[in-house]
Structure 1
Amino acid sequence: MRGIEPHRPTAMPGQPGASRSLGVAVVDPVPIFREGLAAMVHRSPGLHWAGQAASHHSALQLCEQVRPDVVILDSALDPNCHLTKLLASGDPALLLVVLVRDANRTQQYLATAIGAGAHAIVPRSVDPRRLAEAIRRAHSDRRYIDPTLAALTARPKRQPSPRAAPAADHLAQPKGAMPLSRREYQVLQLVAEGLENSAIAKLLFLSVETVRTHVKSILRKLSARDRTHAVTIAFRSGILIPRADDEHNPAAAQPAVARGTP
């Protein structure tokens, strides 16, 4: 399974509340951080480990195949909250816990994350016990904001609207808006990794013709000339983001798009 490390928990006879244990998966680009979260989950009563992923595509696959109860998501991996929205729409029962890095610690990001479907917002530097408690609180209340971030979720005072705002302004999408479907987004991720249609079809268990249809739809929605142009537009607009481990390597962050017809 490409980029996914699922784990199905074994039964633990006699453990109180075992039947109500929550399966927790982690989506984070840093291996040692994923291992640390796994250790936290293993030692927290009422939680069990459901798997880990390091990218958007593998996160979507993990949730489709393992169906965890909770996903802990790194804000740096999802700065525009596209993955949050896709995961929330794909499984309304899924509990989404966002770990916020300092760079994303803004009122705008928190509002976007909550609007996209996040149930809990917690600093990435949070103490493990507080994180476990945040998961439990979010599960019971369907909403938890860490006290240190509460001030950023306060509603700003409403500003008077302009008298005559052009109609086009109401229709324009904000920068980084997601015009693609869940499956189109997965296909675009794999196109950016340099995979041909046949390889994408195998990974997503689709026919090559279906993948070709998705690629054509992506080109149309992004007004792109070809696959390379589509990936370039996606990175520039924030639909795709460079991998976290490529941030300090400009050459590695360039899309490796396979040549070929849509």
Structure 2
Amino acid sequence: MIDILLADDEELVRAGLRAVLEAQGDLRVVGEASDGAQAVALARELCPHVVLMDVRMPGMDGLAATRELVRDGAAPGAGRTPKIVVVTTFEVDDYVYQALRAGADGFLLKRTRPAEIAQAVRLVAAGESLLFPAQIRRLAAGRGNGAARATMTRAALTEREAEVLRQMARGLSNGEIAEQLFLGVQTVKTHVSGVLAKLGARDRTQAVILAYESGFVAPTD
């Protein structure tokens, strides 16, 4: 069973998400929060597998709450860190981009179909990131920075790791990368782990954002 915490200031949105998720046999909503501060407190208390986090809430917004929960997970001796999926109305939203940079595992649009919402929760709970290449490219456009370029230079990725990162930026899964590069899936997993370690990235989403910000992958590719 996958435990989920809902964080949204609109009660109607929370009710809709609860109905969608609890119609699935393997998903369970364990709590609801109406702002970021409450979301952080409930996440610490209930230890959900996944938090669906609205980014625009009064008081502490979803961006600040995401940072707080990621910081919790980085603390020595920290327990299970929930996967965070930010939920937004707008595809190109600076709040969403900053949340992804802060460590959110992906994002969903509020108009996403119910079956896709349920599948997204399963994916992030299993350790996959929600990468939507077109949206990530739009979010990353024009955001290059020197720190990202320096990080990429220091990482000194091998030729194979660099190619794997390019395929990650296209939104390919490990299995799809393996097929594309004629490698075994376990070999791809090893290369992905190497990329994340060298870049100091929490997950695939952060690695891909860094690839765009450094210019290693161009948003127009």
Normalised TM-score (structure 2): 0.55
Report the equivalent of 1:111: 97
> Conserved in 2, the CA contact under 8 Å of 1:26 and 1:51?
yes
Alignment-derived partner of residue 100 in structure 1: 88
User: 1:148 Cα shift?
Assistant: 6.0
State the AA in 2 paired with 1:135.
V
The answer to whether the 8 A contact 2:36-2:64 is kept is no
Q: Quickly say closer, same or farther: Cα 1:159–1:37, change in 2 above 3 A.
A: closer
Deviations 1:27-62 (A, max 9, x none): 001111111111111112321111101022221221
Q: What is the Cα deviation at residue 86 of structure 1?
A: 0.4
**CA–CA distance in structure 1, aligned partners of residues 144 and 17 of structure 2:** 39
The residue correspondences of 1:45-84 to structure 2 (distance < 5 A) are 45-77=25-57, 81-84=63-66
How far 1:150 moved relative to its partner? 3.5
CA RMSD of aligned residues (A): 2.6
Pairwise CA distance, 1:145: 2.9
- Superposed CA deviations along residues 215-257 of structure 1, whole A, max 9, x for unmatched, are xxxxxxxxxxxxxxxxxxxxxxxxxxxxxxxxxxxxxxxxxxx
Identity rate, percent: 21
Which residue does 2:112 correspond to in 1?
A: 126
Q: Distance in 2 between matches of 1:111 and 1:122?
A: 12
What is the CA–CA distance in structure 2 between the aligned matches of 1:68 and 1:147, rounded to whole Å?
Answer: 27
How many angstroms apart in 2 are the aligned matches of 1:34 and 1:62? Answer: 15
Q: Mark the structure with the bigger radius of gyration.
A: 1
CA distance, structure 2, for counterparts of residue 31 and residue 58 of structure 1? 14
Give unmatched runs, 5+ long, in structure 1.
1-20, 162-262
2-side partners of 1:40 and 1:85: how far apart? 27
For 1:60, the aligned partner's letter is: V
Larger CA deviation: 70-79 vs 142-151: 142-151
2:69 counterpart residue number: 87
Q: What residue identity is the alignment partner of 2:111?
A: S
Correspondence 1:1-262 to 2 at 5 A? 21-77=1-57, 81-91=63-73, 93-102=81-90, 105-106=92-93, 108-146=94-132, 149-154=135-140, 156=142, 158=144
Structure 2: unaligned runs, 5 residues or longer: 75-80, 148-221
How far off its partner does 1:142 sit?
3.5
Distance 2:144 2:111 in 1: 32
Query: How many residues are treated as equivalent by the alignment?
Result: 139
Aligned counterparts of 1:54 and 1:118: Cα–Cα separation in 2? 19
1:142-191 deviation line (CA, Å, top 9, x unaligned):
41134662332446474789xxxxxxxxxxxxxxxxxxxxxxxxxxxxxx
TM-score, normalised by the number of residues in structure 1:
0.47
Q: Which amino acid aligns with 1:145?
A: L
Q: Which has the higher helix share?
A: 2
Where 1:134 maps in the other structure, the secondary structure is helix
